A and B are shown apart, each in its own frame.
Chain A
Amino acid sequence: MSNALSVIGKRLPRPQGPAQTTGAAQFAADIKLPGMLIGKVLRSPYPHAKILKIDKSKAENLPGVEAVITAEDGPKIPYSICNLSGDMQNPELPSEHKDCYVFNDKARFVGDPVAAVAAINEYIAEEALELIDVEYEKLPAVFDPIEAMKPGAPKIHDYAEGNVAEHIPYAFLEGDVEKGLQEADFIFEGTFRTTKQKSAQIEPNATVANFDHNGRLTVWSSSQQPHPARRQLARIFNMPEGKVRLLSPFIGGAFGSRQSFITEPVCIALARKAGKPVKLEDTREEDLSTREGRQPQILTAKLGIKKDGTITALQFKTVADAGAYFSHSGAVTSLCMMDFLELYRCPNKNGEADIVYTNTSISGGIRGYGNPPAMFALEQLMDNAAKTLGIDPIELRLKNIKRAGERGYGMLPIENTALAECIKLGAEKIGWQEKKASKKEGVIKRGIGMACAMHCSGAYPDLVEQSNAFIKLNADGSADVTVSATDLGQGIVGALGQIAAEGLGLRAEDVNVTYGDTDVTPFDDGAHASGSCYTTGNAVLAAATNAKKQLLERAAKALGVSDEELDTREGRVYVKTDPEKGIAIAEVVRNTIYDFTGEGYNISATGTSGYRGSSPFQATFVEVEVDTETGQVKVLKIVLAEDIGRAINPMTVEGQLEGGIVQGLGYTLTEDFVVDMNTGCTVTDSFDVYKLPTTLDLPEIEVILVEQPVASGPFGAKGVGELGLIAMAAATANAVYDAVGIQVKELPITPEKILHALESNQ
């Protein structure tokens, strides 16, 4: 019998497909409980204001209103908006910033919650909001992080001098940067600015919360990390963790924005006050103007390089705009620094970052985390160097990329890397040599560019990277897998089913995966850091391996052979040297459960992931057309090659990369998050002005999966979720540079910026 994998690598449709395509899939906003109230939030119209007095009596007296809450109603426990804080975080890292309450005594951005209402319907809840009288003392506000650091700037949090929440030096210094710069034949430097891209998942955030008669709290939450979120919510509401249950409904996209508390705290506070279930749903305007976006960076970088292309020094400085509350800012910024400093081999490197509060909406950890801004800077400097040195950008990268064993993401040694293959294959597919050689003259110019990236499979050692799984075998030869993975659309549930099936020797359709209930599922660190398939996958595989061992022991008795002689495949136990000889898994399990000798039991097993990590790599190639009369950049073709380790389900993996590429296209060209510098209001608070890519913006996209399995991943898999997006802005900027010789150092790359640069060049 062949040793080839029978389930891994198959393009299987996701198990949720029928529910998703028929309207049966229930998202948080679709939930209706008996007696459920509708919540609405009153938000500050001022970017910075003390809340002196709130009169809620008129709102409370409106018929149909069941609860009106403000800071007075508590809870008065400060917390970090980031889910991945507290016990999740490595104690050696800088401390978390518990800088937020459910309602704060001062508003720090336009949209900061001030009060909330629960009423029998949304019309009454909205009317009640208008009846709440708030007396504000307006304070001067600051929206730009550089301004915020200046002496005399308005102070946003009492503890943060100069509004600097944290100054972070690079923790993994190497060599001597001054010496490295002296050794360099050329030094390239630049300041790059990136934007607060919104996650803009199509489902606005929603939560339902209910306390039962025993005081137990159930929350239908779209959190990416149900277990860590449960622990944090229990702390905020001063409850034992076991009294809180998180259920995951269908989640309408997340992209990192749901690894923070969103609608949960206010919804729970309303349910507690009202003594009834409450549903709280964001409007799109609330989503775009108040929820987390990608942390903007003002990044000043230096690259020292010799004539032969050897990098001698890398220096990184950034001012990171945290917005009004700290949330993920510490991790995003320190990883941005690491992403910049560790992709290429370099003996001399240092870096530092200031994380600065401003009176703007909160910056969070959006798909790619700190990596896209880092690559936007690094890969443009690399192309500067390539041009000056007269070396092909591809050759320059091939010369400097790291090999297996060198330090990779999170300082873990690189387990394996197919980056060189990714670069070569991508170049071939996009026609790099031919297109570099042939330049189009005229008004519309063509260009081609590329950029690389290294990312992660889980956030070890920064976070507790731990997943657990439980598997039991049923008497009909099927298996039930219980895990706390969260399916945000990435397809993790299907992938875990495939891993379990392959690990047990079952067919994919014989495996059922249960998830989304913290009462039932074992601890899991949740969906983040491109790590679910790797980390939860390892837990599932460990559980499957344990269950299979028991299965083989029972089968060995039945067949009169030793268990070492046996293996499983597609629902059958067979003798390795004589595959015709065997027994159906269903028969073994049935005889193990329905066993009248007194030796019977239900074969079941748990498995844990262990703490590991493995760096995936990728190379992105972009071909553009730039209209020199209008400044319009049109992306014609994108090729992305990923070092995936192993694609558990290639269709799902392609979907992750394609989705990331197009989200990256928006980040690069059209998604500008604009705050009015006089009022602090978000200008881009609807999809009419905040422009996501549509089908009409879609270039030709080709995804290449380079499979070189790693020992540490389940069947060799590495992370994929974030990798499509990371290098898009960098590769596109380099293509524009190739087309018209202009480097756009500020995102998004708009026609105005191109035209302005073209005019300045003349």
Chain B
Amino acid sequence: MRKEVTKFTVNGKPYEIILESHMTLLEVLRNKTGHTGAKYGCGTGSCGACTVLIDGKPVLSCLTLAATVRNKNIETIEGLAEGNTLHPIQQAFVDYGATQCGFCTPGMILSTKALLENNPHPTKEDVKEALSGNLCRCTGYVKVIDAVLAAAEAMQGGK
């Protein structure tokens, strides 16, 4: 089995990890760097629970070979809050009841972050489109969409 050292950053911190060529980014985050906020939900890229950002773009980490992230900047759910101060998207998810079991939440929030960085004034339809790859079985999405729209507004106010 081929092994090699790969460098990348997670939430701004540099990592050098010995990788086996078959490992996915999700396995590396969960088992090697300790970022268990990225979730295994299906392994086939169908549920979005493993969503992380690579250089700002949402990516399904269960379908991404870890070897391909060399020198890239990865952002996981653990990187959003500053100390105990939640990011406005996180705060909106809490305040609007957008979490139930919370398992899909990290992926939902990261998809939202990517959306709002590209489109700070999304319509409801834009939000539905951006989150269409993130399955949730608890909320029926209603309060998730409310939270994303509220976060967009809050982030306008804050900047």
Contact = CB atoms under 8 A, between A and B. Distances in A.
Contacts of B102: 16, 19-21, 25, 250, 252, 489
Given A202-B137, A694-B135, A490 B36 contact: no
B140 A701 contact: yes
Nearest to B22: A123
Contact of A663 (B37, B105, B137, B145): B137
A71 interface: no
B128 A202 contact: no
Mostly, the B contact residues are: loop
Most chain A beta carbons < 10 A, residue from B36, B95, B101, B137: B101
A204 B41 contact: yes
A662 interface: yes
B103 A22 contact: no
Contacts of B38: 23
Interface in A60-80: none
Contacts of A497: none
Given A21-B90, A687-B42, A203 B101 contact: yes
Given A20-B105, A25-B102, A655-B143, A203 B93 contact: no
B69 to A, nearest CB: 18
B101 A202 contact: yes
A696 to B, nearest CB: 5
A292 to B, nearest CB: 15
Contact of B94 (A13, A251, A281, A692): A13
Nearest to B107: A202
A659 interface: yes
Interface string B64-86: 00000000000011101100101
A72 B39 CA distance: 35
Contacts of A464: none
Interface string B134-159: 11111111111100000000000000
Interface string B22-53: 00000000100001111111111011010000
Contacts of A252: 39, 101-103
B43 A655 contact: no
A30 interface: yes
Report, as a range, how many residues of chain B touch the other chain. Answer: 35 or more
A23 B36 contact: yes
A705 B7 CA distance: 54
A201 interface: yes
B19 interface: no
B99 A284 contact: no
A21 B142 contact: no
B104 interface: yes
A692 B135 contact: yes
B109 interface: yes
Contacts of A490: 100
Most chain A beta carbons < 10 A, residue from B42, B93, B106, B131: B42
Given A18-B94, A23-B35, A488 B127 contact: no
Given A687-B47, A688-B46, A23 B76 contact: yes
A21 B44 contact: no
A698 interface: yes
A281 B102 CA distance: 18
A345 B98 CA distance: 39
B132 interface: yes
A18 B140 contact: no
Contacts of A191: none
B92 to A, nearest CB: 9
A642 B66 CA distance: 49
Contacts of A200: 137
Interface of B: 30, 35-44, 46-47, 49, 76-78, 80-81, 84, 86, 90-91, 93-97, 99-106, 109, 127-129, 131-145
27 contacts: A18-B84, A21-B105, A21-B106, A24-B37, A26-B36, A29-B36, A30-B30, A202-B136, A250-B103, A252-B103, A281-B40, A284-B44, A489-B102, A490-B100, A655-B138, A655-B139, A655-B142, A655-B143, A658-B139, A658-B140, A662-B140, A662-B141, A687-B44, A694-B141, A695-B141, A696-B128, A696-B132
4 tightest A-B contacts by CB?
A23-B37, A20-B102, A489-B101, A252-B103
Given A284-B43, A695-B145, 20 more contacts: A16-B102, A20-B99, A22-B37, A27-B103, A30-B36, A202-B137, A253-B103, A255-B137, A284-B42, A284-B44, A489-B101, A652-B97, A663-B137, A686-B42, A687-B47, A694-B133, A694-B141, A696-B132, A698-B128, A701-B142
